[in-house]
Amino acid sequence: MRRSEVDRSKLSPMMQQYMDMKDNYEDCIIFFRLGDFYEMFFDDAILVSRLLELTLTGKQAGLEERVPMCGIPHHAYAGYVNSLVDMGYKVAIAEQMEDPKQTKGMVKRDVIQVVTKGTRLDEAIDAKNNNYIANIYDFEYCYGVSFADISTGEVYVELIDGEADKIIREVVKNGFREVIVNDKINREIVDILRTKHNVLITILSDLNEDSNYEYIYKDLEDERLVFTLKHLLNYIIETKKGDLHHLQKAVTIKSFEFLEFDINTKKNLELTETLRNRERQYSLLWLLDKNRTAMGSRFLKHNIENPLTNKKEIERRYDFVERLSTEFILRDDLIHELDNVYDLERLIGRITYGNLNAKDLLQLKTSLKSLPNIKDILEKLHFDKSIDTLDEVYSLLEKTICEDAPFTLHEGHLIKAGYNSELDELKAISSGSKDFILQMESEEKTRTGIKNLKVGFNKVFGYYIEVSKGQTHLIKEEYGYERKQTLANAERYITPVLKEKENIILGAEEKIINLEFKLFMDIREIVKRYASKIQRISKVISEVDMLQAFSIVSDSNKYVRPVLTTDKVIKMIDSRHPVVEQVMKDKYVANDIMMDKTTNVLLITGPNMAGKSTYMRQCAINVIMAQIGCFVPCKSCTMPIFDKIFTRIGASDDLVSGESTFMVEMKEAEYALSEATENSLILFDELGRGTATYDGMSLAQAILEYIHDKIKAKTMFSTHYHELTSLENDLKHLKNVHVSAIEENNSITFLHKIKNGAVDKSYGIHVASLAHLPDSLIKRADEILNIYEKKNVKKQVFTQTSLFEKDENEVEEKKNKIEEEFKKINPLEMTPMEALNFLYNLKKEVKKH
């Protein structure tokens, strides 16, 4: 039975209540609280029973046919919610808003929160990663993007100009799992994010006008940023429904303050996860994450994804890393104290929102206990940021919360003795029940003369007096005994005095639980007032933790402090790949990376497996490490500050959108060529290999010339087109280097050492032999190679003919026909075949003249 098929006029009041609620939450699975269970009905029940392998049953709802239903125990709902959210569903928690025992008629119910991918506050989210929810507000001429981690309270906002591709790259790079968009959005963006990148998309255009959250955006001058934030806040507040005042003032992202790169570069360099297994282990993040706190780990990941461009700030971090390495005893003391600090950002998030337990306050107390020592150590290290120790909060938690308090808040035993006199009195009454039993038992034995009389208690009948059957004749009417229960060999009685005492004791226990819960919530309200201070403390500790991790890693692996220069000079002596050297069984071969003021392009040749890609990657990784404030794996390092990094490394098809390796190559190349500046770093690994040899080589040369003449960015370009090495004669800022190898006895030994100059030979057949292809196949390939070499099938490479720039002494006296033809074309809009035809016609024209 489907919900849409139901005659609502026949429904029971409870099911009518459910249907009305579902009308408002069509896109959610509703967990509908009924007593000790959360139940789902109709389509939700059918779906959830299949997804979570629950028993699908039915419920009478006033109709002739039972409606589909499945249910879960209310105390175990979190695991089920997490599973559904991970699958991409939204779950609305509908709670009983009244006590059924004290309510006449139907209990009022309402949705207290909606749980989605981006709005989780529970402990199931990854402690070492931010969990962002984002929005895209399409202004039709630009995009507003804001994102928040509700668990930590961080809020960011930015404006992005450009086409749809740019906004998609931003979403994918930041790993947003849930995105809210307004109804003006290009539907192609929505479709790509949903189908290709598995992003949960919600389309709505309402803005939040609640002045309670105005503090988040009131300091922003750009009205577009305010609109963007109001759009996101509307969804967050409507979804979570609780107190979200731990959300912090929005930080405006200015792209020029960070080293920019896209998701392809992040993947190619394996910054946060490996390409093959998509795991954290063996990534740069894995190597550097020697943090002691979850906050520090998240801050490190954020910095790896957003390195700095501010030289002063980078140098400031270098200074502190250096100081920590020098003052290693203080560093060890600092590490010891950081081990006691829990995740303050997420603790204050749960405390503010209200989904906390006693364990959260105990973790906060333990963290606060270490703050005075951390503050003292930072002062000795002359760190330029200080922290507040919040002694009054620690004192409050120390005297109030029981060390062994239970996880739930409705079992009692939350508050220590001595904090509240009323609670102490109630506990004295409750704890005096044993003494009361012994005292009354003694008095009744004396009064009645019944020696085997007992006073006892059970949860079903409460307090009772038990007399064996053989002694019941001794009971007189004036004793006031009233028969309560008959057993096989005894009778149980109650008296007015006993009943009165029972009401006092049992009432005290209920009052204790209610009073402790109220006191606990009062304490929570006091702690909430310190939310902003605790957040400021957490930011300082996050940075300090990350910098101590840099110090540990740098000392352990003999990294050096980079020298940042304003000259366009890269001089990395004995540079290493930081991750590869950790996992290699053999000794890592270090290499120099040298690009002086007159060298912008390194053209790298050499056999496969010799280390060209690693050489290029280690340059980029060293740059990223340097610009997050970490020392680098070199003997010495001098480098400029880069604004952007672009990479095209490895061959891959985009099967989802049906694009070939070559098309992916060309798109990534176009992105680099259109976005790079002279302060960027470009890494192109064997660009052009995805198409025919002539096509690929022609495009590779044209791209090299364009970068050399137009962009002037520092570029590393590896290739198997050995003919391109002749460009060194024509492109004054290009330099040939190669990875050396020794060939002897028909075998090859890779030296993994970069040397100046070019190689004009490929070792593909030798590499195939190392891969243990059949000997007969290797022999035949060698014979074919010899035939080609004897035919001298060598591709001629066009020398540069001033396609992009004129010589300074050249005077334009008359129009050059070839030059005019070049002015008419845009290389980035030509297909490979059009480019080849153009070059062919150009060659004929050159021959004519």
What is the per-residue pLDDT for 813? 46
User: Is the pLDDT score of 768 beyond 70?
Assistant: no
Dump the DSSP string for 40-62.
EEHHHHHHHHHHTTPPPEEE--S
What is the per-residue pLDDT for 584? 85
**Bridge partner residues of 726 (DSSP):** none
Region 24-38 average pLDDT? 95
Region 198-208 average pLDDT? 94
Alpha-carbon distance of 734 to 203, in angstroms, equals 50
User: Is the pLDDT score of 802 beyond 50?
Assistant: no
Q: How many CB atoms lie within 10 A of CB 573?
A: 15
Torsion-angle region of 660 (φ positive above 0: left; ψ -120 to 50: alpha; else: beta):
beta
User: Is the pLDDT score of 789 beyond 80?
Assistant: no
What is the per-residue pLDDT for 656? 43
Non-local CB neighbours of 488 within 8 Å, separated by 6+ positions: none
Over residues 439-486, the pLDDT tens digits come to 889 999 999 999 999 998 887 778 899 999 999 999 998 899 999 999
Instruction: Report which residue type is found at 270.
Output: E
Dump the DSSP string for 626-672.
HHTT--BSSSEEEEPPPSBEEEE-S---BTTTTB-HHHHHHHHHHHH
Burial 43-76 (b: 16+ CB within 10 A, else e): ebbbbbbeeeeeeeeebebbbeeebbbbbbebee
What is the per-residue pLDDT for 21? 95
Over residues 609-650, the pLDDT tens digits come to 778 899 999 999 999 999 999 999 999 999 999 999 999 886
Answer for the pair 380, 372: CB distance below 8 angstroms, yes or no.
no
Alpha-carbon distance of 530 to 440, in angstroms, equals 51
Instruction: Report which residue type is found at 647.
Output: T
| pTM reported for the whole predicted model | 0.84
Over residues 319-369, the pLDDT tens digits come to 999 999 999 999 999 999 999 999 999 999 999 998 899 999 999 999 999
User: Is the pLDDT score of 652 beyond 60?
Assistant: no
Over residues 499-543, the pLDDT tens digits come to 888 888 888 888 999 999 999 999 999 999 999 999 999 999 999
Alpha-carbon distance of 819 to 432, in angstroms, equals 103
Dump the DSSP string for 175-220.
T-SEEEE-TTS-HHHHHHHHHTT--EEEE-------GGGGGGTTT-
User: Is the pLDDT score of 245 beyond 60?
Assistant: yes
User: Is the pLDDT score of 553 beyond 80?
Assistant: yes
Residue 534, judged by CB atoms within 10 A of its CB (0-12, 13-18, 19+), counts as: buried
Strand order in the sheet with 454-458: 454-458, 462-468, 490-494, 482-486
Region 71-82 average pLDDT? 92
Alpha-carbon distance of 450 to 471, in angstroms, equals 7
What is the per-residue pLDDT for 751? 67
Over residues 729-752, the pLDDT tens digits come to 999 999 999 988 776 665 666 667
User: Is the pLDDT score of 810 beyond 50?
Assistant: no
Place of tokens 């050492």: 753
Give the rounded distance of the alpha carbon of 441 from its chain centre.
64
Q: pLDDT band at 106, cuts 50/70/90? A: confident
The more confidently predicted of residues 92 and 413 is: 92
Region 418-433 average pLDDT? 85
Non-local CB neighbours of 661 within 8 Å, separated by 6+ positions: 651, 652, 653, 690
User: Which alpha helices (H) appear in 529-632, and where do they start and end?
Assistant: 531-557, 580-583, 612-627
* Half-sphere exposure for 106 (CA within 13 Å, toward CB): 11
Instruction: Report which residue type is found at 221.
Output: E
Q: For the chain, what percent of residues have pLDDT higher than 90?
A: 66
In degrees, rounded to 5, the angle at the alpha carbon of residue 763 between the alpha carbons of residues 758 and 767 is 140
Dump the DSSP string for 411-451.
SS--B-TTS-HHHHHHHHHHHTHHHHHHHHHHHHHHHH--T
Closest by CA to 158, choosing from 301, 240, 299, 258, is 258
Alpha-carbon distance of 301 to 298, in angstroms, equals 5
The region of weakest confidence among 104-108, 279-283, 417-421 is 104-108
Q: pLDDT band at 653, cuts 50/70/90? A: very low
Over residues 258-303, the pLDDT tens digits come to 999 999 999 999 999 998 888 999 999 999 999 999 999 999 999 9
Q: Decide: helix, strand or coil at residue 611.
A: coil
Q: At residue 625, what are phi and psi to the nearest 5 degrees?
A: -60, -45
Mean of pLDDT over the chain: 88
Q: Decide: helix, strand or coil at residue 590.
A: coil
